[in-house]
Amino acid sequence: MKDRYNRTINYMRISITDRCNLRCTYCMPQDISLTSMDNILTYEEILRICTAAVELGITRFKVTGGEPLVRKGCVTLIREMKRIPGIEQVTLTTNGVLLGQYLEELISAGLDGVNISLDTLDAARYERITGKNELPAVMENIGRAIDSGIRVKLNVVLQNGVNEDEWEHIALLARTNYLDVRFIEMMPIGYGKNCRGVSGRELLEKMKNRWPDLETVTDIHGNGPAVYYHVPGWKGSVGLINAIHGKFCASCNRIRLTSRGKLKPCLCYGDTIDLMPILRRGQEEAANGSGPDGNVETKDMVRRAIAEAIAEKPAQHCFEQKDHITEESQMVSIGG
Ligand code: SAM
Ligand code: SF4
């Protein structure tokens, strides 16, 4: 479906939980009050939303969190999503801690790719950034994912004075491995508002100086706004997601669904459309037999609500004017 700015919206990011097994400083540094499971979309509800979304031309889905792999049944959800006619792609964003445990099942469920967050190659730093000593497990799981042949992307958020000096070492992972390393600019959402991110534009200059034969990749690598670069002879590529210094709103193709059932037209603004009342009312009606066909009616209403969220997508985010940002949730509740 096209929005009112003629952008085709074909991609939905679905956060399935706001729980996480890490405590990244810029995302969820300390425990937050967790949403009770009653107020989290069930997998059945998520599948109903996906089915309605497909009818609007949303064919690509990202499962995210919190940490999606801490929610029991994540693999089953992905398997069921892949069975929905019309769904072309389901990918996962994870911190990688539990990936080894589920990798084989995820692949046999049909997962199309995995994004793994990795901000440092130094174990002590990893612990300072994430609150946990999990770097060895994550590196092992990244290796296993690459060996499995599934498409692997690494998500890296650089911060001044924290890990910006590691950009080259992390980028070099793409020299010897079939993976994409993506540097994501810190976005001023939640705890990220107080962090000093690194400009992707400046990073590109450093990359060009370091690898003068760096070339821009022209083929499409994914669903997102990353611009990819390649050094001749490297197995993988390096992507830059310059949310702040390379505003890509004109080609935005996505909406977000939070674990509480709220559709978010844009990351920057707090406006949402709540699917929960529609879904839960439909369930009640189905249970007590009222209404001609509760399921069909609910699906129509969900589809209309998604269409409304798409229609309400603003032209652009306002990250450069922090006082205009109305989103007050933490990134852990939104899913990135
Ligand atoms: N737990 C999973 C993970 O870490 O990949 C999935 C959820 S996490 C919220 C998704 C992505 O958002 C991660 O790559 C994380 O680094 C990124 N992220 C979190 N807060 C951010 C911020 N303020 N700006 C940019 N990226 C952020
Ligand atoms: Fe958890 Fe991912 Fe947020 Fe880190 S970035 S706290 S791993 S949800």
Range 132-135 contact pairs with CB under 8 angstroms and sequence separation of 24 or more: 132/21, 132/22, 132/23, 132/97, 134/22, 134/95, 134/97
Greatest alpha-carbon pair distance for the chain in Å reads 68
**Start-to-end CA span in the chain (Å):** 22
Q: Which amino acid is at 278?
A: I
Q: Please check whether residue 225 is in contact with residue 251, taking contact to mean a CB–CB distance below 8 angstroms.
A: yes
Q: Which of 26-30, 56-60, 113-117, 257-261 has the lowest mean pLDDT?
A: 26-30
Q: Looking at residues 135-148, what average pLDDT do you find?
A: 98
Determine how many CB atoms are found less than 10 A away from the CB of residue 246: 15
What counts of helices (H) and strands (E) characterise the chain?
Answer: 11, 12
Q: How far is residue 117 from each of residues 10, 98, 121, 321, measured CA to CA in Å?
A: 24, 12, 11, 27
For residue 156 and ligand 1, the question of a CB distance below 6 A is answered with no
For residue 91 and ligand 1, the question of a CB distance below 6 A is answered with no
d(CA 51, CA 268): 26
pLDDT tens digits, 57-113: 999 999 999 999 999 999 999 999 999 999 999 999 999 999 999 999 999 999 999
For residue 95 and ligand 1, the question of a CB distance below 6 A is answered with yes
Q: Looking at residues 300-311, what average pLDDT do you find?
A: 96
Q: Looking at residues 137-147, what average pLDDT do you find?
A: 98
Tell which one of 135, 184, 240 to mutate to probe ligand 1, the residue whose CB is within 8 A of the most ligand atoms: 184
Domains of the chain: residue spans and CATH: 11-333 (3.20.20.70)
Which residues line ligand 2 at a C-beta cut-off of 6 Å? 20, 22-24, 27-28, 65-67, 95, 117, 332
Q: Is the pLDDT of residue 292 over 60?
A: no
Residues in the chain, total: 336
Q: Is the pLDDT of residue 142 over 90?
A: yes
For all residues of the chain together, what is the average pLDDT?
A: 93
Question: Nearest C-alpha to atom 8 of ligand 2 is from which residue?
Answer: 66
